[in-house]
Structure formats: structure tokens, C-alpha cells
Amino acid sequence: MKEGPNIHIGPPVWGCDFFDRKKTIDVCWEKLRNNSIILSAPRRYGKSSVMLHLRDKPSMEFFPIYFELEDHFSLAGFVYEFVSKILEHDKSIMKKFKKGFSKIFKGIGEMSFWKFKIKLKKTIEDEGDWEEWKERIQQMIIDLVKTKESKKLLFILDEFPLMLSNFIKQGEKGETEAVKLLQWLRKIRHESPFLENVRFVLGGSIGIEKVISYLKATRTINDIETVQIGAFEPHVAVDFIKKIFETKELEVDKNVIKAIIEAVGTLIPIYLHIMIDSIIKESMNTGRKIEPALVKECYEKRVHGPEYKCYFEDYYERLWRYYLNEEAKSAKRMLRELATADDGIPIDRLFLIYQEEMRNRGDKEKFDLLLSALESDFYIERDRGEKKVYFHNKWLKDWWRIYHGA
Ligand SMILES: Nc1ncnc2c1ncn2[C@@H]1O[C@H](COP(=O)(O)OP(=O)(O)O)[C@@H](O)[C@H]1O
Ligand SMILES: [Mg+2]
């Protein structure tokens, strides 16, 4: 096998496997000079890969730290993640921190880092005063800024809105914690010395707007610009396909590439990976030559098969996790109708479908809110001129029809 981008389905990609995204990365660095950003796209579009790239190949003036937040459900969880990552990054801060906590961390000198982390977690949970932890964290940030001389700190918070949504699921306490955290992050972005020295990238697979408006906290993020991660442009996708086949030392002609582009529709890297993976496997299993007819067959019979089903299941499961029961039920019905419709569905007709599912207990306002949520969570697209609603993209629509269309 040659050096070059290889098929790498599921986890974020890095090194040779990370392809292009040049424009997106340039836009991120440009905006980060003066502002923090939200990096927004559906799950599996390539956000974490971009964020890891920002971490691994930072622009000269930044010192990045990456935080994975999806599995945290409380402010204590966030504090733990934040504090332990900062300590991991700078031994000198670790010394100061240990001094400040000498009573709690007795004998810490001999402790391994993971044992220390367990102790830290327990301490944060037991000593849950946010006001105090906030001060400590601010001091740590100031200390870190000093050690990095003229560099700005870049805190990359992956799946930030999902974490807030996890907080909200815990009830009133969680909601209060989410607002406190948002207020604190705003303060950090607006007050010296943080204003000049700290930037955030907030990455999210669900629309942050829905979470924030539920919390009635729009003011806390209205200063942050959003950078969208979308599909590859066609010429980038062509190059990507060519390079992968070259890495695999397989020859394909331009009609095959054209057939792949047409079948996939929205040129998201993971869709292209799955498509190419299935073509190569099918060709190896059957001995057939890779040609447009095989591509078409693989799209129809393999790419949405059980082998790749799991990569998209989260879209379905998430409805139950992040929507109220009643909303989830009517959303599921609307998505089923949209997945099985040839084209989009006029908004008036979709409202009737919604009302039917709600046994006429819904109203226009609730319906509009639900549509906005489904739009910002990347399930649907609305054509406001045509007054029609569509599934977000062809691949997902086909996947949904196969698994949840009946
Ligand atoms: N720049 C890229 N180059 C090649 N493949 C990519 C790229 N970005 C994403 N992918 C593909 O998409 C998958 C999911 O990427 P990831 O960054 O984890 O997405 P997200 O964080 O948006 O869910 C990867 O496993 C890989 O198949
Ligand atoms: Mg991710």
C-alpha cells in the first residue's frame, strides 16, 4: 500500500488520512484572531477531525488544548475535565495546584497521574462550590498564559451543546449549572486578562441555538460566530476518491469516480469512505471489475447494509435522548414521511401530519419550534420560498427510509 489518505471509518481522522478542509481551517484561524467560534455540523461530518487538526497543527500564535465533553453530565464533570487537562499540559501549574491543595492531596508526590485524577474527581464532586472552582480555574488560566509567553490559549470544547443538553436532562439543578457555565464563559471572553489571551472553539453536533434558547440564555453566546463544516466541493471529492484508490494501488477510470460522486450525492467524507470501502470489498469478494455498474449496485445494496448501519444510528436514537417524548414521537413520524416522499413535503401538509400524530393537541407555534429544532439539529432543510421541507441530505434520507421508513 502506498502512502496517502486511507479509508478510516468512524473515529476522527488525523495525519495522512485527514484530507483537505483547508478553507475551513483558514477561516477558523482568521476568526480566532479576534473572536471565539462555534464549529457546527451534523454528527460524522468531520468536526472532531478539524478540531484535532487545529490542536495538532496550530497557527503560530496559539496554544491549543482539546476537551471531549460528550460524557459529562454536570458542572462538576466539566470542572474535572477542564482542570485535569490543564494540569496534564503543564507540570509547573501542577506544582502550584498541589501546593494549594496540600491537605487534600497528601502524599501526592508519589501518586501516578491517573490515581491523582481519581482523587481530583472525588474532591471536585465533594467540594462542589462552583464559585470557588471558578476562581481556581481562572487562576490556572492566568498561570498557564504566563508560561506560554505571547501565545493565546485555545480551548477546544468538543460536543459542547451536547454536554449542556446532558445538564438539562438532570433537571432544574442542571439547567442552573448550564446557565452558570455559559455566563462564566462569556465573562472569560469579555474581561481582561482573558479577553486578550483566551479563545474558545465550541464544537457541536446538535444546534447550540436550541439548547441556549431553551435556557433563555441567548445573550451568553451572541458574540460568537459560527463556522459550518459542510460537504467537500466536487473537485476536492474527486481528488479524495482518486487518492484513496491510489493508496490502495487500485486503478479506476473517471467514469467510476463520476458514478461515485453521483451515487453519494452530498459529498461528506464518511459517505465517500463507506462507498469506496464497499466497492473494494464487493470487487474482492466477487472478483468483479470496479466499474460504474458495480458502484450503483453497491450504493443500492451495500452502503446502507448492516455493516455500516451503526455509524448513523445516533441520529435516530438521539431523538429520544434530546427531545421530549411527545416531540420525539411526532418528529419521528414527520421524518418517516419525509424519508419516503419522492420530493419534499409542503409545510402545510406536514403540519397536518404533525397534528394527526399529536391527536390535534399541537399548535402552529409548537410545530414551528419543533421544525426549527429539527433544522438546527440537521435532520431537515426548509425551503422558505417554496414553503417545503426536505430531509437533510440524500444519504441520510435513504438510510432513514431503509431502517425507519416503515
Ligand atoms: N478531513 C477528512 N478527511 C478524511 N476523512 C474524514 C475527514 N473528516 C471526516 N472524515 C470521515 O468522517 C468520519 C467522522 O469524522 P469526525 O471528525 O469524527 O466527525 P464528527 O466529529 O463531525 O462526528 C471519519 O471517521 C472519516 O471517515
Ligand atoms: Mg466528533
CATH number for position 180: 3.40.50.300
Tell me: do 274 and 332 sit in the same domain: no
- Starting from the CA of residue 49, give the closest ligand: 1
In a domain, 397, yes or no: yes
- Starting from the CA of residue 45, give the closest ligand: 1
**Cβ atoms of 331 and 375 closer than 8 Å:** no
In a domain, 92, yes or no: yes
Global pTM reads 0.92
Residue 125's pLDDT is what?
A: 85
Sequence-distant contacts of 168-171: CB under 8 A, at least 24 apart? 168/211, 168/214, 168/215, 169/73, 169/321, 170/73, 170/74
Ligand 1 near 376 CB (within 6 A)? no
Cα 27 to ligand 1 centroid, rounded to whole Å: 18
Cα 42 to ligand 1 centroid, rounded to whole Å: 11
- With residues binned 3-state (H G I as helix, E B as strand, rest as coil), the percentages for the chain, rounded to 5, are 60, 10, 30
Place of cell 496550530: 58
Please list the rounded mean pLDDT of every run of 10 residues in the chain (406 residues): 88 96 97 95 94 96 96 95 90 75 62 79 84 91 89 96 93 96 96 95 87 91 93 97 96 96 96 97 96 96 93 91 87 97 96 94 92 92 94 94 92
What domain range is 265 assigned to?
234-303
Residue 118's pLDDT is what?
A: 85
Tell me: do 368 and 273 sit in the same domain: no
Instruction: Identify the domain boundary among 169, 193, 228.
Output: 228
**Cβ atoms of 374 and 42 closer than 8 Å:** no
Tell me: do 159 and 223 sit in the same domain: yes
Residue 29's pLDDT is what?
A: 97
The tally of domains found in the chain comes to 3
Question: What values do phi and psi take at 38, rounded to 5?
Answer: -105, 130
Cα 67 to ligand 1 centroid, rounded to whole Å: 17
In a domain, 312, yes or no: no
Instruction: Identify the domain boundary among 194, 228, 262.
Output: 228
In a domain, 129, yes or no: yes
Place of cell 463507506: 274
- Starting from the CA of residue 53, give the closest ligand: 1
Residue 95's pLDDT is what?
A: 75
What residues are paired with 39 via a beta bridge? 203, 227
Ligand 1 near 64 CB (within 6 A)? no
In a domain, 208, yes or no: yes
Which residue puts its alpha carbon closest to atom 23 of ligand 1?
44
Tell me: do 254 and 216 sit in the same domain: no
Cα 362 to ligand 2 centroid, rounded to whole Å: 34
In a domain, 385, yes or no: yes
Cα 66 to ligand 1 centroid, rounded to whole Å: 17
Residue 111's pLDDT is what?
A: 67
DSSP 153: E
Residue 90's pLDDT is what?
A: 81
Tell me: do 211 and 337 sit in the same domain: no
**Sign of the alpha-carbon torsion through 89, 182, 316, 25:** negative
Instruction: Identify the domain boundary among 189, 208, 228.
Output: 228
Tell me: do 174 and 245 sit in the same domain: no
Tell me: do 295 and 343 sit in the same domain: no
Residue 322's pLDDT is what?
A: 81
Tell me: do 133 and 248 sit in the same domain: no
In a domain, 261, yes or no: yes
Tell me: do 242 and 292 sit in the same domain: yes
Tell me: do 238 and 223 sit in the same domain: no
Nearest Cα to 206, choosing from 369, 42, 36, 379?
42
Tell me: do 57 and 164 sit in the same domain: yes
- Starting from the CA of residue 15, give the closest ligand: 1
Tell me: do 62 and 193 sit in the same domain: yes
Q: Which residue of 270, 271, 276, 395 sits with most ligand 1 atoms within 8 Å of its CB, as the best mutation to test the pocket?
A: 270
DSSP three-state, residue 62: strand
Ligand 1 near 189 CB (within 6 A)? no
In a domain, 11, yes or no: no
